[in-house]
Amino acid sequence: MPKKEEGIRALETLLSGDYCPILFAVLSSLITASPEFVHEFKDQLLSVLELYAEKLEGDRLRLWATMAKPLVEKEPRRVCLAAIKACKGHPYSFRPDINPRMFPLIPLLELLWNDPQARELLIEAAQTGQGGPLLPSWVKHKMPTEEAPMQGEARGQKKQQEEDILRRLFDYLGCRLTQMSMRESPDFIAEIARKRIGIEVTILHPGEKETGGSPLRRQEEEIVRRNGPEQPYGMWASLDWKRALQRRIEQKVRRAKRFNRSSIDKLWLVVAAAVPTSGAVVSTCVLGFDVTAEKLCNLTAGVLEESVYDLVFFYIIMEKKLFRWKKGNSWKEVRQRRNLSTGELA
Protein backbone atom coordinates (compact mmCIF):
# COMPACT_ATOMS: atom_id res chain seq x y z
CA MET A 1 0.00 0.00 0.00
CA PRO A 2 1.33 3.50 -0.80
CA LYS A 3 2.34 5.58 2.18
CA LYS A 4 0.56 8.72 3.30
CA GLU A 5 3.44 10.87 2.06
CA GLU A 6 3.09 9.40 -1.44
CA GLY A 7 -0.61 10.21 -1.36
CA ILE A 8 0.07 13.81 -0.37
CA ARG A 9 2.59 14.23 -3.19
CA ALA A 10 0.10 12.68 -5.63
CA LEU A 11 -2.58 15.14 -4.52
CA GLU A 12 -0.25 18.11 -4.85
CA THR A 13 0.86 17.06 -8.34
CA LEU A 14 -2.65 16.39 -9.62
CA LEU A 15 -4.02 19.62 -8.16
CA SER A 16 -1.29 21.53 -9.97
CA GLY A 17 -2.74 20.24 -13.23
CA ASP A 18 0.03 17.77 -13.97
CA TYR A 19 -1.94 14.62 -14.82
CA CYS A 20 -0.34 11.20 -14.47
CA PRO A 21 -2.28 7.90 -14.48
CA ILE A 22 0.14 6.39 -11.96
CA LEU A 23 -0.83 9.06 -9.43
CA PHE A 24 -4.49 8.11 -9.80
CA ALA A 25 -3.52 4.50 -9.13
CA VAL A 26 -1.62 5.58 -6.01
CA LEU A 27 -4.59 7.53 -4.66
CA SER A 28 -7.08 4.80 -5.56
CA SER A 29 -5.06 2.23 -3.64
CA LEU A 30 -4.55 4.51 -0.64
CA ILE A 31 -8.20 5.58 -0.46
CA THR A 32 -9.42 1.99 -0.57
CA ALA A 33 -7.11 0.91 2.25
CA SER A 34 -7.10 4.00 4.48
CA PRO A 35 -10.35 5.66 5.65
CA GLU A 36 -8.17 7.97 7.74
CA PHE A 37 -6.57 9.39 4.60
CA VAL A 38 -10.01 10.00 3.09
CA HIS A 39 -11.16 11.82 6.21
CA GLU A 40 -8.04 13.98 6.48
CA PHE A 41 -7.79 14.95 2.81
CA LYS A 42 -11.46 14.90 1.81
CA ASP A 43 -11.52 18.39 0.29
CA GLN A 44 -8.37 17.85 -1.75
CA LEU A 45 -9.65 14.51 -3.04
CA LEU A 46 -12.94 16.09 -4.07
CA SER A 47 -11.07 18.85 -5.87
CA VAL A 48 -9.09 16.24 -7.81
CA LEU A 49 -12.30 14.47 -8.79
CA GLU A 50 -13.84 17.71 -10.02
CA LEU A 51 -10.70 18.81 -11.84
CA TYR A 52 -10.34 15.63 -13.90
CA ALA A 53 -13.98 14.54 -14.25
CA GLU A 54 -14.19 15.52 -17.93
CA LYS A 55 -10.64 14.54 -18.88
CA LEU A 56 -10.77 10.78 -18.47
CA GLU A 57 -11.72 7.76 -20.54
CA GLY A 58 -11.18 4.00 -20.61
CA ASP A 59 -9.38 2.46 -17.63
CA ARG A 60 -8.72 5.91 -16.19
CA LEU A 61 -12.45 6.17 -15.54
CA ARG A 62 -12.23 3.06 -13.39
CA LEU A 63 -9.45 4.57 -11.26
CA TRP A 64 -11.38 7.83 -10.99
CA ALA A 65 -14.53 5.97 -9.89
CA THR A 66 -12.53 3.98 -7.32
CA MET A 67 -11.37 7.28 -5.84
CA ALA A 68 -14.88 8.67 -5.82
CA LYS A 69 -16.76 5.84 -4.09
CA PRO A 70 -15.43 6.37 -0.52
CA LEU A 71 -16.37 10.05 -0.80
CA VAL A 72 -20.04 9.47 -1.62
CA GLU A 73 -21.03 9.12 2.03
CA LYS A 74 -19.23 12.34 2.95
CA GLU A 75 -20.18 14.62 0.03
CA PRO A 76 -22.82 12.95 -2.17
CA ARG A 77 -23.80 16.13 -3.99
CA ARG A 78 -20.27 17.10 -5.04
CA VAL A 79 -19.42 13.55 -6.05
CA CYS A 80 -22.66 13.30 -8.00
CA LEU A 81 -22.05 16.49 -9.97
CA ALA A 82 -18.55 15.29 -10.81
CA ALA A 83 -19.87 11.86 -11.81
CA ILE A 84 -22.35 13.45 -14.21
CA LYS A 85 -19.45 15.18 -15.93
CA ALA A 86 -17.39 11.98 -15.92
CA CYS A 87 -20.19 10.13 -17.72
CA LYS A 88 -19.49 12.31 -20.77
CA GLY A 89 -16.22 10.45 -21.23
CA HIS A 90 -18.00 7.12 -21.64
CA PRO A 91 -18.90 6.53 -25.30
CA TYR A 92 -21.51 3.78 -24.90
CA SER A 93 -25.12 3.54 -23.77
CA PHE A 94 -25.75 1.29 -20.80
CA ARG A 95 -26.91 -2.26 -21.44
CA PRO A 96 -27.36 -4.72 -18.56
CA ASP A 97 -26.51 -7.70 -20.77
CA ILE A 98 -22.97 -6.45 -21.51
CA ASN A 99 -19.91 -7.22 -19.38
CA PRO A 100 -19.99 -4.84 -16.38
CA ARG A 101 -16.30 -4.02 -16.91
CA MET A 102 -17.42 -2.04 -19.94
CA PHE A 103 -19.12 0.41 -17.58
CA PRO A 104 -16.64 1.37 -14.82
CA LEU A 105 -18.81 4.22 -13.56
CA ILE A 106 -21.89 2.10 -12.85
CA PRO A 107 -20.85 0.95 -9.32
CA LEU A 108 -20.36 4.61 -8.41
CA LEU A 109 -23.71 5.59 -9.90
CA GLU A 110 -25.37 2.78 -7.94
CA LEU A 111 -23.96 4.19 -4.70
CA LEU A 112 -25.17 7.67 -5.59
CA TRP A 113 -28.62 6.32 -6.48
CA ASN A 114 -29.09 5.32 -2.84
CA ASP A 115 -28.82 8.97 -1.76
CA PRO A 116 -32.14 10.81 -2.39
CA GLN A 117 -30.53 14.14 -3.25
CA ALA A 118 -27.97 12.56 -5.56
CA ARG A 119 -30.68 10.48 -7.21
CA GLU A 120 -32.66 13.60 -8.05
CA LEU A 121 -29.56 15.20 -9.56
CA LEU A 122 -28.94 12.11 -11.71
CA ILE A 123 -32.54 12.08 -12.90
CA GLU A 124 -32.50 15.76 -13.75
CA ALA A 125 -29.20 15.42 -15.61
CA ALA A 126 -30.53 12.48 -17.62
CA GLN A 127 -33.73 14.32 -18.49
CA THR A 128 -31.77 17.31 -19.77
CA GLY A 129 -29.41 15.21 -21.88
CA GLN A 130 -26.31 15.49 -19.70
CA GLY A 131 -23.88 12.66 -19.06
CA GLY A 132 -23.31 11.51 -22.63
CA PRO A 133 -25.11 8.36 -23.80
CA LEU A 134 -24.35 6.47 -20.58
CA LEU A 135 -26.30 8.40 -17.95
CA PRO A 136 -29.71 8.72 -19.68
CA SER A 137 -29.67 5.05 -20.70
CA TRP A 138 -28.71 3.90 -17.20
CA VAL A 139 -31.31 6.13 -15.51
CA LYS A 140 -33.95 4.79 -17.89
CA HIS A 141 -32.99 1.29 -16.75
CA LYS A 142 -33.17 2.24 -13.08
CA MET A 143 -36.26 4.40 -12.97
CA PRO A 144 -39.94 3.55 -12.93
CA THR A 145 -40.90 3.58 -16.59
CA GLU A 146 -43.36 6.44 -16.30
CA GLU A 147 -40.66 8.68 -14.85
CA ALA A 148 -37.92 7.78 -17.31
CA PRO A 149 -36.52 10.45 -19.64
CA MET A 150 -38.51 10.74 -22.86
CA GLN A 151 -37.80 12.50 -26.10
CA GLY A 152 -39.53 13.24 -29.38
CA GLU A 153 -42.73 11.39 -30.19
CA ALA A 154 -42.82 9.46 -26.90
CA ARG A 155 -42.71 12.70 -24.91
CA GLY A 156 -45.50 14.16 -27.06
CA GLN A 157 -47.69 11.11 -26.48
CA LYS A 158 -47.07 11.28 -22.74
CA LYS A 159 -48.05 14.95 -22.68
CA GLN A 160 -51.24 14.25 -24.60
CA GLN A 161 -52.12 11.50 -22.15
CA GLU A 162 -51.51 13.81 -19.19
CA GLU A 163 -53.64 16.53 -20.78
CA ASP A 164 -56.45 14.02 -21.34
CA ILE A 165 -56.29 13.07 -17.65
CA LEU A 166 -56.67 16.71 -16.63
CA ARG A 167 -59.59 17.23 -19.02
CA ARG A 168 -61.33 14.20 -17.52
CA LEU A 169 -60.63 15.47 -14.01
CA PHE A 170 -62.11 18.90 -14.65
CA ASP A 171 -65.09 17.37 -16.45
CA TYR A 172 -65.67 15.18 -13.39
CA LEU A 173 -65.60 18.28 -11.22
CA GLY A 174 -67.89 20.16 -13.59
CA CYS A 175 -65.27 22.86 -14.03
CA ARG A 176 -64.23 24.23 -17.42
CA LEU A 177 -60.83 25.79 -17.86
CA THR A 178 -60.34 28.89 -19.96
CA GLN A 179 -56.61 28.42 -20.45
CA MET A 180 -54.05 25.66 -19.91
CA SER A 181 -50.55 25.31 -21.33
CA MET A 182 -48.06 22.44 -21.38
CA ARG A 183 -44.82 23.01 -19.52
CA GLU A 184 -42.10 21.10 -17.73
CA SER A 185 -41.58 21.13 -13.97
CA PRO A 186 -44.54 21.33 -13.42
CA ASP A 187 -46.25 19.67 -16.38
CA PHE A 188 -48.98 22.29 -16.91
CA ILE A 189 -49.93 25.84 -16.02
CA ALA A 190 -53.66 26.50 -15.75
CA GLU A 191 -55.49 29.73 -14.97
CA ILE A 192 -58.16 29.12 -12.35
CA ALA A 193 -60.05 31.93 -10.63
CA ARG A 194 -57.43 34.42 -11.82
CA LYS A 195 -54.65 32.38 -10.28
CA ARG A 196 -51.85 30.57 -12.07
CA ILE A 197 -51.88 26.96 -10.95
CA GLY A 198 -48.93 24.69 -11.65
CA ILE A 199 -50.09 21.09 -12.10
CA GLU A 200 -47.87 18.02 -11.99
CA VAL A 201 -49.47 14.87 -13.44
CA THR A 202 -48.40 11.28 -12.85
CA ILE A 203 -49.86 7.84 -13.54
CA LEU A 204 -49.85 5.17 -10.85
CA HIS A 205 -48.74 1.63 -11.73
CA PRO A 206 -49.54 -0.78 -8.87
CA GLY A 207 -46.87 -3.44 -8.50
CA GLU A 208 -44.19 -1.03 -9.68
CA LYS A 209 -40.72 -1.93 -8.40
CA GLU A 210 -38.34 0.47 -6.67
CA THR A 211 -35.99 0.04 -9.60
CA GLY A 212 -36.75 -1.07 -13.11
CA GLY A 213 -40.32 0.24 -13.27
CA SER A 214 -43.45 -1.85 -13.79
CA PRO A 215 -43.02 -5.32 -15.33
CA LEU A 216 -46.79 -5.49 -15.74
CA ARG A 217 -46.81 -2.29 -17.75
CA ARG A 218 -44.09 -3.54 -20.08
CA GLN A 219 -45.97 -6.81 -20.55
CA GLU A 220 -49.23 -5.04 -21.33
CA GLU A 221 -47.65 -2.59 -23.76
CA GLU A 222 -45.92 -5.46 -25.56
CA ILE A 223 -49.23 -7.31 -25.94
CA VAL A 224 -50.84 -4.22 -27.43
CA ARG A 225 -47.91 -3.64 -29.79
CA ARG A 226 -48.03 -7.25 -30.93
CA ASN A 227 -51.81 -7.63 -31.31
CA GLY A 228 -52.85 -4.07 -32.08
CA PRO A 229 -54.74 -1.56 -29.91
CA GLU A 230 -58.18 -2.72 -31.05
CA GLN A 231 -57.76 -6.36 -30.01
CA PRO A 232 -59.05 -7.43 -26.57
CA TYR A 233 -56.61 -9.05 -24.16
CA GLY A 234 -56.67 -10.52 -20.68
CA MET A 235 -54.14 -10.16 -17.86
CA TRP A 236 -54.00 -10.36 -14.10
CA ALA A 237 -53.71 -6.96 -12.43
CA SER A 238 -51.63 -6.15 -9.35
CA LEU A 239 -53.52 -5.14 -6.22
CA ASP A 240 -50.47 -3.63 -4.51
CA TRP A 241 -51.46 0.00 -5.03
CA LYS A 242 -50.61 1.28 -1.54
CA ARG A 243 -46.82 0.98 -1.65
CA ALA A 244 -46.77 2.15 -5.26
CA LEU A 245 -48.75 5.27 -4.31
CA GLN A 246 -46.49 6.01 -1.36
CA ARG A 247 -43.39 5.68 -3.50
CA ARG A 248 -44.79 7.78 -6.34
CA ILE A 249 -45.88 10.61 -4.05
CA GLU A 250 -42.51 10.59 -2.29
CA GLN A 251 -40.83 10.89 -5.71
CA LYS A 252 -43.07 13.77 -6.71
CA VAL A 253 -42.54 15.56 -3.41
CA ARG A 254 -38.76 15.40 -3.87
CA ARG A 255 -39.05 16.51 -7.49
CA ALA A 256 -41.30 19.46 -6.64
CA LYS A 257 -38.63 20.98 -4.40
CA ARG A 258 -36.73 21.91 -7.58
CA PHE A 259 -39.65 23.69 -9.24
CA ASN A 260 -39.44 27.42 -9.85
CA ARG A 261 -42.60 28.73 -8.22
CA SER A 262 -42.01 32.39 -8.97
CA SER A 263 -44.52 32.38 -11.86
CA ILE A 264 -47.30 30.34 -10.19
CA ASP A 265 -49.61 30.95 -7.25
CA LYS A 266 -50.40 27.35 -6.31
CA LEU A 267 -48.99 23.90 -7.01
CA TRP A 268 -51.11 20.80 -7.50
CA LEU A 269 -50.36 17.13 -7.97
CA VAL A 270 -52.72 14.81 -9.88
CA VAL A 271 -52.16 11.06 -9.46
CA ALA A 272 -54.23 9.06 -11.95
CA ALA A 273 -55.09 5.36 -11.87
CA ALA A 274 -57.37 3.05 -13.87
CA VAL A 275 -56.47 4.97 -17.02
CA PRO A 276 -58.78 4.12 -19.98
CA THR A 277 -56.01 3.79 -22.56
CA SER A 278 -55.09 0.69 -24.52
CA GLY A 279 -51.87 -0.63 -23.02
CA ALA A 280 -52.57 0.89 -19.60
CA VAL A 281 -55.93 -0.49 -18.45
CA VAL A 282 -54.53 -3.44 -16.50
CA SER A 283 -51.18 -2.05 -15.34
CA THR A 284 -52.84 1.08 -13.87
CA CYS A 285 -55.81 -0.77 -12.38
CA VAL A 286 -56.91 0.24 -8.87
CA LEU A 287 -60.15 -1.09 -7.41
CA GLY A 288 -62.16 1.82 -6.09
CA PHE A 289 -63.77 -0.09 -3.22
CA ASP A 290 -60.31 -0.72 -1.74
CA VAL A 291 -59.45 2.99 -1.53
CA THR A 292 -60.68 5.15 1.34
CA ALA A 293 -59.79 8.59 2.63
CA GLU A 294 -58.58 7.01 5.87
CA LYS A 295 -56.15 4.73 4.03
CA LEU A 296 -54.81 7.65 2.01
CA CYS A 297 -54.26 9.67 5.19
CA ASN A 298 -52.32 6.83 6.77
CA LEU A 299 -50.19 6.39 3.65
CA THR A 300 -49.34 9.93 2.61
CA ALA A 301 -50.60 12.69 4.91
CA GLY A 302 -47.28 13.18 6.71
CA VAL A 303 -45.12 13.55 3.63
CA LEU A 304 -47.67 15.79 1.91
CA GLU A 305 -47.94 18.23 4.81
CA GLU A 306 -44.20 18.83 4.57
CA SER A 307 -44.31 19.16 0.78
CA VAL A 308 -44.69 22.25 -1.41
CA TYR A 309 -47.97 21.00 -2.88
CA ASP A 310 -51.12 22.91 -2.01
CA LEU A 311 -53.60 20.38 -3.42
CA VAL A 312 -53.37 16.71 -4.43
CA PHE A 313 -55.92 14.61 -6.33
CA PHE A 314 -56.01 10.82 -6.54
CA TYR A 315 -58.27 10.12 -9.51
CA ILE A 316 -59.34 6.52 -10.23
CA ILE A 317 -60.69 7.32 -13.67
CA MET A 318 -62.52 4.18 -14.80
CA GLU A 319 -64.00 3.73 -11.34
CA LYS A 320 -65.19 7.36 -11.38
CA LYS A 321 -63.79 7.89 -7.93
CA LEU A 322 -61.88 10.96 -6.80
CA PHE A 323 -60.07 11.88 -3.59
CA ARG A 324 -58.63 15.27 -2.70
CA TRP A 325 -56.01 16.34 -0.19
CA LYS A 326 -55.57 20.00 0.72
CA LYS A 327 -52.76 21.44 2.82
CA GLY A 328 -53.96 21.79 6.38
CA ASN A 329 -56.73 19.25 5.80
CA SER A 330 -57.04 15.49 5.45
CA TRP A 331 -57.97 13.40 2.42
CA LYS A 332 -61.64 13.50 1.42
CA GLU A 333 -63.64 11.78 -1.27
CA VAL A 334 -65.09 14.18 -3.84
CA ARG A 335 -68.38 13.32 -5.50
CA GLN A 336 -68.96 14.07 -9.17
CA ARG A 337 -70.14 17.63 -9.70
CA ARG A 338 -72.04 19.44 -12.41
CA ASN A 339 -71.19 23.05 -11.73
CA LEU A 340 -68.16 23.51 -9.52
CA SER A 341 -66.96 27.09 -9.48
CA THR A 342 -63.31 27.63 -10.27
CA GLY A 343 -63.06 29.60 -7.06
CA GLU A 344 -63.83 26.48 -5.03
CA LEU A 345 -60.81 24.79 -6.59
CA ALA A 346 -58.32 27.62 -6.33
Quick: pLDDT tens for 116-142: 778 888 887 887 778 888 888 888 887
DSSP 3-state of 154: helix
DSSP 3-state of 181: strand
DSSP 3-state of 270: strand
CA distances from 77 to 12, 43, 119, 221, 268 (A): 24, 13, 9, 36, 28
**Shortest CA distance to 18 belongs to which of 46, 48, 38?**
48
The answer to whether residues 86 and 61 touch, using CB atoms and an 8 Å cutoff, is: yes
Q: Is the pLDDT of residue 150 over 70?
A: no
The answer to whether residues 2 and 29 touch, using CB atoms and an 8 Å cutoff, is: yes
**Shortest CA distance to 314 belongs to which of 165, 155, 146?**
165
The answer to whether residues 189 and 199 touch, using CB atoms and an 8 Å cutoff, is: yes
* pLDDT attached to residue 332: 95
Mean pLDDT of 6-10: 82
CA distances from 325 to 269, 307, 332 (A): 10, 12, 7
* pLDDT attached to residue 244: 92
**Shortest CA distance to 251 belongs to which of 140, 138, 164, 147?**
147
Q: Work out the pLDDT band at 322, boundaries 50, 70, 90.
A: very high
DSSP 3-state of 121: helix
Q: In whole angstroms, what is the distance from residue 328 CA to residue 226 CA?
A: 48
Q: How far, rounded to the nearest angstrom, does the alpha carbon of residue 250 sit from its chain's CA centroid? A: 10
Q: Is the pLDDT of residue 87 over 50?
A: yes
Bridge pairing between strands 180-182 and 266-273:
unpaired
CA distances from 340 to 60, 166, 232 (A): 62, 15, 36
* pLDDT attached to residue 212: 59
More confident call, 224 vs 295: 295
Percentage of the chain lying above the pLDDT 90 cut = 30
Q: Give me the chain's average pLDDT, please.
A: 83
